[in-house]
């Protein structure tokens, strides 16, 4: 057993099930906020939660262990999953999920290896990858905060990595220095601005934005601990009806987390996870290295109240989708500011991260974060598979 600061629990002992899915699915009502009580047995599930009979969510894949967080889908339909080293030590923290049910370490087994023998090469291995994302050109990006067990970053480990799926080779590896990603940091999610060749990253450990010039590889930390970056511990955020409290009695506080880039790349949206506030800023000011944090703060737009959510994404009509985990749902905010229910389904056990495809399909993971040991006095309560779902985006 290694001497890492996180618990090495279960190996890659999960069974992956790729369901045979219908070619299309019906769009749900996006405005009435209701959920159905009619249920049917979920033939793919091994948990106890039944499937609403008219749910548009289709199971793409499910895993008993380890815990999935992120998903990315390429234009050719290839699906990738992200399995961070939190409570588990997955063999394939970044994996290509095959149509035949296989789970393949990506881009290769060596990149997925992390143990005492590889600690002197933190830039050549996934340490605790948090986000996998496909940009508009079909390139795959992996964001690795390098903080196994959410304890502290491994020196030299935080990085943003670009992979060409055509060759399955790393084509760019940007190390995020400790001045930007401190030992207490946790790089969380990323969006790629292919128009301007920049990356925008939420950092939830300290609470900040990280902006990366992809041409030069230079990263800057912005707005650290600004109120728009910080979670609120007074809200009694809940999941499954239970308040999120850790073993020491502290309420959950998750800082800047969800992130989305407008279709024209002019605006970046973000929010702290434990918060009911949504913010945005023009990307052109984020790219202006001459501006101070005080000047940037004056450019932040407070967009008002939205549900607590983890992941965010924007569709072609600039509707902002949110994985609203408090009530097992996905909601969206229209450009006019109206909040609409997209789908509500008890199988959305902490809906987490989105991937949208050009044909109008939405993929989403269910990571059951609220059932992990941290939020249950050290005892895992996972009684469901971790899942990837898909559905057609509503019109």
Neighbours of 99 (CB within 10 A): 11
In the predicted model, is pLDDT for residue 35 greater than 80? no
In three-state secondary structure terms, 383 is coil
Homologous superfamily of 55-392: TolB, C-terminal domain (2.120.10.30)
Task: Tell me, yes or no, if the pTM score tops 0.85.
Answer: yes
Alpha-helical (H) ranges within the chain are 283-286, 293-297
In this structure, are residues 208 and 229 in contact, taking their beta carbons and an 8 Å threshold? yes
Selected residue with higher pLDDT from 6 and 320: 320
Q: What is the pLDDT of residues 353-394, one digit of tens each?
A: 999 999 999 999 999 999 999 899 889 998 999 999 999 999
Q: How far apart are the C-alpha atoms of 9 and 12, rounded to whole Å?
A: 10
pLDDT value, residue 98: 84
In this structure, are residues 354 and 363 in contact, taking their beta carbons and an 8 Å threshold? yes
Q: What is the pLDDT of residues 40-73, one digit of tens each?
A: 334 344 456 788 889 999 999 999 888 999 999 9
Q: What is the pLDDT of residues 114-128, one digit of tens each?
A: 998 999 999 999 999
Q: Quick one: tokens of 3? A: 């001497």
pLDDT value, residue 12: 37
Q: How far apart are the C-alpha atoms of 131 and 354, rounded to whole Å?
A: 11
Q: Which residues contact 116 (CB under 8 A, 6 or more apart)?
A: 2, 3
Rounded to the nearest integer, the mean pLDDT of the chain is 88
Neighbours of 273 (CB within 10 A): 25
Q: Which residues contact 90 (CB under 8 A, 6 or more apart)?
A: 11, 12, 66, 83, 112
Q: Where are the domains of the chain?
A: 55-392
């Amino acid at each position: 057993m290694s001497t890492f600061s996180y618990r090495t629990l279960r190996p890659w002992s999960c069974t992956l099930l790729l369901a045979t899915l219908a070619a299309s699915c019906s769009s749900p009502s996006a405005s009435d906020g209701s959920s159905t009580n009619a249920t049917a047995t979920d033939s793919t599930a091994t948990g106890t939660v039944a499937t609403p009979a008219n749910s548009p969510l289709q199971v793409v894949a499910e895993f008993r262990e380890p815990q999935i967080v992120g998903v990315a889908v390429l234009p050719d339909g290839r699906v990738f999953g992200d399995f961070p080293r939190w409570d588990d030590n997955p063999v394939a923290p970044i994996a290509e999920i095959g149509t035949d049910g296989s789970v393949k370490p990506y881009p290769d087994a060596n990149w997925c290896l992390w143990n005492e023998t590889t600690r002197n090469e933190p830039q050549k291995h996934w340490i605790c990858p948090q986000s996998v994302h496909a940009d508009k050109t079909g390139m795959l990006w992996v964001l690795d905060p390098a903080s196994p067990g959410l304890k502290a970053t491994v020196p030299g480990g935080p990085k943003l990595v670009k992979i060409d799926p055509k060759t399955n080779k790393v084509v760019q590896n940007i190390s995020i220095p400790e001045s930007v990603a401190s030992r207490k940091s946790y790089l969380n999610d990323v969006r790629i601005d292919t128009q301007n060749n920049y990356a925008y990253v939420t950092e939830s450990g300290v609470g900040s934005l990280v902006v990366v010039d992809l041409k030069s590889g230079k990263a800057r930390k912005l707005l650290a601990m600004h109120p728009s970056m910080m979670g609120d511990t007074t809200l009694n955020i809940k999941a499954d009806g239970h308040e999120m409290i850790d073993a020491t009695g502290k309420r959950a506080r998750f800082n800047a987390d969800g992130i989305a880039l407008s279709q024209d790349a002019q605006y970046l949206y973000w929010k702290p996870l434990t918060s009911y506030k949504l913010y945005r800023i023009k990307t052109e000011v984020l790219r202006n290295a001459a501006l101070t944090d005080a000047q940037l703060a004056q450019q932040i737009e407070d967009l008002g109240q939205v549900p607590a959510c983890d992941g965010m994404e924007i569709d072609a009509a600039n509707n902002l989708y949110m994985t609203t985990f408090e009530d097992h749902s996905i909601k969206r905010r229209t450009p006019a500011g109206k909040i609409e229910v997209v789908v509500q389904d008890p199988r959305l056990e902490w809906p987490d991260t989105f991937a949208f495809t050009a044909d109008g399909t939405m993929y989403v993971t269910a990571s059951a974060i609220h059932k992990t040991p941290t939020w249950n006095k050290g005892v895992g309560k996972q009684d469901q598979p971790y899942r990837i779902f898909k559905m057609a985006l509503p019109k």
